[in-house]
């Protein structure tokens, strides 16, 4: 008991930051969930919905390298507060447009692009801030706690979003999002001290020079670089999944808004359970083996069950199998990055990592939406009742998305097996 009290005391600053930022993340997640349903009902297009995420990730990918260099020279706390304020301002604009019945899809694309830009600058600052307020011996637990928050949000998001939408409408959803922001902003501004680092050493350094140092570091650390490429390939497959998922759940026989919420809630409960377990697990003998095996298990289970299943029960089982090991993977990936990258380089290195690791996400979202609307749905619409494809994936709208899940299952397995044999990634074990 004394050990737990000591742990809480040593982690209290991080925990306060984590709790309030997670609460703000819940508000944002509820808004995003509601907007996905809203945008899909406007046109019934997977591509229109997918472009919401494309607009969010495009600035993130394009500007992350420079954002990290800026983050390394700027005060971390002020950076986070300014970025949050701008994001809140765009949310207010969205609320005003909605209240005047003027909100259109293109408004959401523009708002998401601005929020993506703010997240680009804030994310490396937040990573470094976490490193500074958290003792090194607790790095192993950070990933688990983050997935704990993420999974709890996944559970609560469909429940709260559905309740607020049903009782008060979309405007109340956005208002709740703003409320969570205010709580997080006040806490960060007045209750959380973030120690100063070595920003002054690079304050006169040219931006391109500073950014180039992050690139140079990764060129020298080939194991880290190849691990990032591994995650980039996984993100490509995963974002195709994300683009196709709501389209299938909202339109396939047996699917609906309630089923979408149910499967998302199961995924949330699963990651919640996985996160809780991860927090209490000891350091594994091989972090790399854990990362590879967890991703392989995820890719080789959920996608097949989503593709071949035709009931909410099967889809829920798929969600459980696909996500139960992800918190463990994330925890070990986070620990490897923090242990291998020097603190004074983390902002620059993380930003380069973000550009490399996440540039495939907008591509994947676009591909997912395009493939559903223009390739797989038309293909399935032409199939006869006796076709093997019809027997496997069903008929009607949503069957094309199911067929796409079958394809990306093999793509995900191939990616995992390819990078599992990368010797430079395994070299990280020698210094871990």
What is the distance between the alpha carbons of residues 381 and 399, in angstroms, rounded to a whole number? Answer: 8
pLDDT at 219: 83
Residue range 413-426: average pLDDT?
95
pLDDT at 202: 46
What is the distance between the alpha carbons of residues 299 and 408, in angstroms, rounded to a whole number? Answer: 8
Residues of the chain above pLDDT 70, percent: 89
* pLDDT tens by residue, 267-320: 888 888 887 888 778 888 889 999 999 999 999 999 999 999 989 999 999 999
pLDDT at 31: 87
> Which range, of 27-31, 89-93, 320-324, 405-409, averages the lowest pLDDT?
27-31
What is the distance between the alpha carbons of residues 405 and 245, in angstroms, rounded to a whole number? Answer: 9
What is the distance between the alpha carbons of residues 96 and 89, in angstroms, rounded to a whole number? Answer: 11
Contact 77, 190 (CB under 8 A): no
Contacts of 428 (CB under 8 A, 6+ apart): 223, 224, 227, 287, 288, 336, 340
Q: Residue 207 CB: number of other CB atoms within 10 A?
A: 12
More confident residue, 229 or 31: 229
pLDDT at 200: 45
Which two three-digit tokens encode residue 49? 């919905």
**Three-state DSSP class for residue 283:** coil
Question: Is the domain defined by 2-191+205-430 classed in CATH 2.60.40.10?
Answer: no
Residue range 179-208: average pLDDT?
73
- For residue 311, the 8-state DSSP code is S
pLDDT at 387: 93
pLDDT at 143: 63
Buried/exposed code over 138-171 (b: 16+ C-beta within 10 A; e: otherwise)? ebbbbbbbbbbbbbbbbbbbbebbbebbeeeebe
- For residue 373, the 8-state DSSP code is I
Residue range 201-209: average pLDDT?
56
**Residue showing tokens 């801030």:** 129
Distance from the first to the final alpha carbon of the chain: 30
């Amino acid at each position: 008991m004394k050990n737990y009290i000591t742990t809480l005391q040593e982690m209290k600053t991080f925990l306060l930051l984590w709790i309030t930022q997670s609460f703000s993340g819940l508000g944002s997640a509820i808004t995003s969930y509601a907007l996905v349903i809203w945008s899909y009902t406007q046109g019934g297009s997977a591509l229109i919905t997918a472009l919401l995420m494309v607009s969010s990730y495009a600035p993130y990918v394009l500007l992350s390298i420079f954002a990290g260099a800026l983050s390394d020279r700027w005060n971390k706390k002020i950076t986070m507060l300014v970025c949050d304020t701008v994001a809140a301002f765009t949310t207010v604009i969205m609320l005003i447009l909605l209240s005047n019945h003027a909100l259109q899809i293109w408004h959401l694309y523009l708002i998401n692009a601005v929020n993506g830009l703010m997240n680009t600058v804030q994310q490396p600052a937040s990573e470094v801030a976490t490193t500074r307020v958290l003792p090194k011996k607790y790095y192993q637990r950070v990933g688990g706690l983050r997935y704990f928050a993420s999974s709890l949000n996944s559970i609560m998001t469909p429940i709260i979003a559905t309740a607020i939408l049903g009782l008060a409408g979309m405007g109340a959803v956005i208002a709740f999002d703003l409320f969570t922001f205010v709580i997080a902003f006040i806490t960060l501004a007045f209750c959380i001290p973030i120690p100063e680092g070595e920003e002054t050493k690079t304050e006169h350094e040219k931006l391109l020079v500073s950014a180039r140092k992050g690139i140079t570091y990764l060129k020298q650390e080939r194991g880290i670089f190849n691990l990032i490429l591994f995650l980039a390939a996984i993100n490509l497959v995963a974002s195709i999944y994300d683009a196709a998922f709501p389209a299938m759940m909202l339109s396939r026989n047996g699917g609906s808004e309630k089923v979408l919420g149910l499967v998302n809630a199961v995924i949330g409960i699963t990651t919640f359970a996985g996160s809780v377990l991860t927090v209490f697990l000891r350091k594994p003998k091989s972090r790399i083996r854990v990362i590879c095996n967890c991703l392989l298990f995820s890719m080789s289970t959920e996608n097949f069950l989503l593709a071949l299943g035709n009931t909410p029960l099967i889809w829920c089982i798929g969600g459980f199998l696909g996500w139960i090991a992800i918190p463990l993977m994330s925890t070990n990936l986070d620990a490897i990055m923090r242990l291998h990258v020097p603190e004074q380089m983390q902002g620059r290195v993380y930003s380069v990592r973000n550009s490399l690791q996440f540039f495939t996400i907008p591509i994947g979202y676009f591909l997912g939406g395009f493939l559903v609307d223009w390739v797989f749905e038309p293909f399935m619409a032409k199939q006869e009742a006796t076709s093997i494809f019809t027997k496997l994936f069903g008929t009607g709208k949503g069957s094309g998305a199911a067929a796409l899940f079958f394809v990306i299952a093999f793509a995900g397995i191939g990616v995992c097996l390819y990078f599992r044999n990368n010797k430079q990634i395994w070299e990280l074990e020698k210094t871990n």
